[in-house]
């Protein structure tokens, strides 16, 4: 079994704010990230999959196919967007923890239709928000 990790860069903005908390509590919990005008990040998404080598190609997956899949299922929806305005974040605070779960879910929902049952399986995603913050799923299903 071989593990493959492919990396994608995208930018998006968000405001960390919970409707369940008062304005004072939001400010205490989220600090500067609760700015009413939001703020942006240059994220790095890493998609990790595992599979067996194809005997004819020596590949686990065709990277062009994976790139197209990730663009269609994830990046076309979130890149250069205000995450707060996207469907999943109507009820979720757009923390990078939640973003990782949403991205993982988007990929898993379409994975079996895009790749053969004997092909690679999605292991998880990792999103780097800053040089100091990374958030990772591992076989997580919501």
> Does residue 58 lie in a domain region?
yes
In a domain, 141, yes or no: no
Cα–Cα separations (whole angstroms), residue 92 to 15, 17, 64, 71: 11, 9, 32, 23
Is the full-model pTM beyond 0.75?
yes
Task: Report helix, strand or coil for 4.
Answer: strand
* 54 in any annotated domain: yes
Task: Give the chain's domain count.
Answer: 1
Locate tokens 């998609």: which residue? 47
Return the closest-CA partner of residue 98 out of 88, 108, 111, 109: 88
What residue numbers bound the domain in which 132 lies?
2-136
Decide: 118 and 40 in contact? Cβ < 8 Å: no
Sequential pLDDT tens for the chain (142 residues): 999 999 999 999 999 999 999 999 999 999 999 999 999 999 999 999 999 999 999 999 999 999 999 999 999 999 999 999 999 999 999 999 999 999 999 999 999 999 988 889 999 999 999 999 999 998 655 4
Burial of 81 (0-12, 13-18, 19+ CB in 10 A): middle
Residue 142 lies in a domain: no
Confidence (pLDDT) at 123: 96
Coarse DSSP helix, strand, coil percentages of the chain, rounded to the nearest 5 percent? 40, 25, 35
CATH number for 50: 3.30.479.10
């Amino acid at each position: 079994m071989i593990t493959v990790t492919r990396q994608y860069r995208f930018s998006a903005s968000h405001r960390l704010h919970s409707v369940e908390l008062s304005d004072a509590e939001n400010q205490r919990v989220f600090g500067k990230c609760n700015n009413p005008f939001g703020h942006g990040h240059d994220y790095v998404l890493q998609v990790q999959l595992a599979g067996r080598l194809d005997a004819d190609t020596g590949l686990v997956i065709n990277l062009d196919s994976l790139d197209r899949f990730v663009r269609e299922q994830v990046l076309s929806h979130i890149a250069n967007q205000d995450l707060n305005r996207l469907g999943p974040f109507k009820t979720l605070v757009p923390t990078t923890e939640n973003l990782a779960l949403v991205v993982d879910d988007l990929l898993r929902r379409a994975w079996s239709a895009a790749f053969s049952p004997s092909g690679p399986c999605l292991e998880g995603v990792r999103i780097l928000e800053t040089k100091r913050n990374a958030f990772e799923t591992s076989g997580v299903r919501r």
